[in-house]
């Protein structure tokens, strides 16, 4: 794995911030099942930007110096602009049949769609903002808006994917 170093007025090793494992709650957790055609075609009535602390052993707390260094290189670290936390984000979509699905991307996986009965029962997740889409779009439309590019913490992370889904809804 290539080690990226951000250098200018600061020395922050990406390895110090991003561990060599996938950002998930447990590395032994199996991946979610593939998205079914029925789920793909469900219409979305609203979406909520959600985030939780980055799962890196530090609960997302890296201090203002590290965050400032990342921001100097335009690395988005939070959807809520919390100044001293690195978060993981996605969108929680509510379909017309009132089911909720989390759409997000993470290291080791590109786009993921997971059924969530109540995401906020899981530790750390918070709502940032709820949006009513201007057009009648499906889960698959939002899923595809994430794009085919591989996850990259610096230039194509979960926040970039979340922003693309929000832009589609706007």
Q: What is the pLDDT of residue 133?
A: 95
For the range 98-103, what are the long-range contacts, defined as Cβ-Cβ under 8 Å and sequence gap of 24 or more? 99/42, 101/39, 101/42, 101/139, 102/50, 103/139, 103/142, 103/143, 103/146, 103/165
Has residue 47 been placed in a domain? yes
Q: What is the pLDDT of residue 21?
A: 47
* Residue span of the structural domain in which 97 resides: 36-56+88-169
Has residue 119 been placed in a domain? yes
SS3 category, 38? helix
Has residue 133 been placed in a domain? yes
Has residue 164 been placed in a domain? yes
Has residue 83 been placed in a domain? no
Has residue 134 been placed in a domain? yes
Has residue 26 been placed in a domain? no
Strand partners, 106: 109
In this prediction the pTM is 0.78
Structural domains in the chain (count): 1
Question: Which regions of 32-99 does DSSP assign to beta strands (E)?
Answer: 44-53, 87-95
Q: What is the pLDDT of residue 150?
A: 80
Question: Would you give per-residue pLDDT tens digits along the chain (170 residues)?
Answer: 333 444 444 555 455 555 444 444 444 455 666 778 899 999 999 999 999 887 655 655 666 677 777 777 778 888 887 766 788 899 999 999 999 999 998 777 777 888 888 888 888 899 999 999 999 999 999 999 988 778 887 788 899 999 999 999 99
Has residue 25 been placed in a domain? no
């Amino acid at each position: 794995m290539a080690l990226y170093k951000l250098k200018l007025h600061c020395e922050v090793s990406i390895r110090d911030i991003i561990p060599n494992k996938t950002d998930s709650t447990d590395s032994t957790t199996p991946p979610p099942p593939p998205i079914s055609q029925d789920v793909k075609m469900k219409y979305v009535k609203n979406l909520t930007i959600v985030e939780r602390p980055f799962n890196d052993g530090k609960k997302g707390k890296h201090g203002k110096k590290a965050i400032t260094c990342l921001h100097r290189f335009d690395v988005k670290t939070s959807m809520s602009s919390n100044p001293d936390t690195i978060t993981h984000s996605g969108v929680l979509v509510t379909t017309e049949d009132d089911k909720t699905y989390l759409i997000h991307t993470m290291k080791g996986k590109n786009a993921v769609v997971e059924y969530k009965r109540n995401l906020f029962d899981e530790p750390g997740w918070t709502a940032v903002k709820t949006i009513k889409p201007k057009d009648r779009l499906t889960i698959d439309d939002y899923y595809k808006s994430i794009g085919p590019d591989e996850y990259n913490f610096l230039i194509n992370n979960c926040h970039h994917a979340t922003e693309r889904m929000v832009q589609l809804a706007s």
